Amino acid sequence: MVKSRGWNLLGAVIAFLVGSACSGAGEVAVQGITTISTSSTTTQATTTVPSPTTQTSSTPSTTTAPSTTLAPLATPDPYEPSASEVLRDRKRLGGRFAQAVLTYGPDDSVETQLAALAEDFAFEPDEDTAEMLAEAMSVGTTNIGTVRYVQMGGNREDQASLMVWVDQERMDEPGQRISESRIVDVRIQRIDDAWRVTRLASVGGPRIDRPAELDDVAASVADHPRITMPDSARWDIYAGHTTDAMLVRMLEIADITDYSVLVLGRGHPYHVFATDKVSRHSVGQAMDVFAVGGELVVDSRYEGSPTWTLSRQLFDDGIGSIGSPWAFDGFGGRSFTDDVHQDHLHITSL
């Protein structure tokens, strides 16, 4: 059954519950881009950053046992980027689309979800979209998606990639609640002076159970109390996608500060956006960090901030390349910046 829903879907979901219980424009610096002035970007954090001690579970999902006293799932507001965000129009559209992708009711199927996305966002799905929804949806359950953060994955004048961390709360008919977090890669394009969603590029990949025997380095990263990451990033670790060198780098940074990873490989564009160059994320050699020391990167673009301090230390220690709001050695050096890297650090293994 095809339904016209929009954000009315969320109200329908709650009614059911109450009744039943980067890479981006450059992994190398973009010529002509200058470092943002520190004097004009000293806005402090206005968005809550997840505490490293309350991070997403180290297993692919968290399950709450059935209970007749479980509170209904909360209704999220449509995603709205904070006033301090960059490229807010792009982030708003990407965040709301990703939120809609992972919000559905027990009577919804892949087909009805595709129809709703097409109606609400003028989106034209293809076979790949259907396959990804089938991979991510748990048909027959109620699922609420809440956006934790939207990070730029790439940007051009007329197209962009938005990588969206979506926290999911799922409740099946007996009242069992399951939590899962995914990175959704949304592609948008400027058409007739308006941004439109043109492609769902990723929903974070298939779920992967934690291996019974996970090696010590991988387990240390996956369970580290100072590293926050979505389930889709842990699936990269469980699958052996993330290289040992990258895992060691992650542990070294955790010794310096707590931080929040948005993406390792899953959910990141396979190629450096709008190029034919394979991203280092795609070969397990990079991570994107959107918060450092409890402060969003986008709100830390001033000298002396936790983000600046970490970036400078990694650069001084000889990291092969680092993308950030700053270019410490100018265009063409090991440190690069552009409009995409104003909201995260692109950190490599070498």
Domain containing 120 — which CATH number?
3.10.450
Task: Decide: 188 and 123 in contact? Cβ < 8 Å.
Answer: no
Of 202, 233, 254, the last residue of a domain is 202
Angle between helical axes of 110-121 and 88-101 (0-180°, round to 10): 160
Rounded Cα gap, residues 289 and 344, in angstroms: 5
DSSP state at residue 76: P
Phi then psi dihedrals of residue 54, to 5 deg: -125, 40
Cα distances (angstroms) measured from residue 228 to each of 137, 169, 255, 325, 332 = 24, 18, 14, 21, 31
Q: Which domain holds residue 160?
A: 8-31+59-202
Q: Which amino acid is at 267?
A: G
Q: Is 223 or 72 the better-scoring residue by pLDDT? A: 223
- What pLDDT shows up at residue 37? 35
Is 44 within a domain?
no
Is 308 within a domain?
yes
Task: Give mean pLDDT, residues 237-249.
Answer: 98
pLDDT band, very low/low/confident/very high, at 11 (cuts 50, 70, 90): very low
Name the domain count of the chain. 2
Are 247 and 166 members of one domain? no
Are 157 and 106 members of one domain? yes
Q: What is the pTM of this model?
A: 0.83
- What pLDDT shows up at residue 280? 98
- pLDDT over 80 at 278, yes or no: yes
Residue 114 burial (10 A CB sphere; 0-12, 13-18, 19+): buried
Are 232 and 179 members of one domain? no
Is 24 within a domain?
yes
Q: In percent, how much of the chain has pLDDT > 90? A: 74
Is 226 within a domain?
yes
Are 260 and 155 members of one domain? no
Rounded Cα gap, residues 240 and 218, in angstroms: 9
Task: Give mean pLDDT, residues 47-67.
Answer: 49
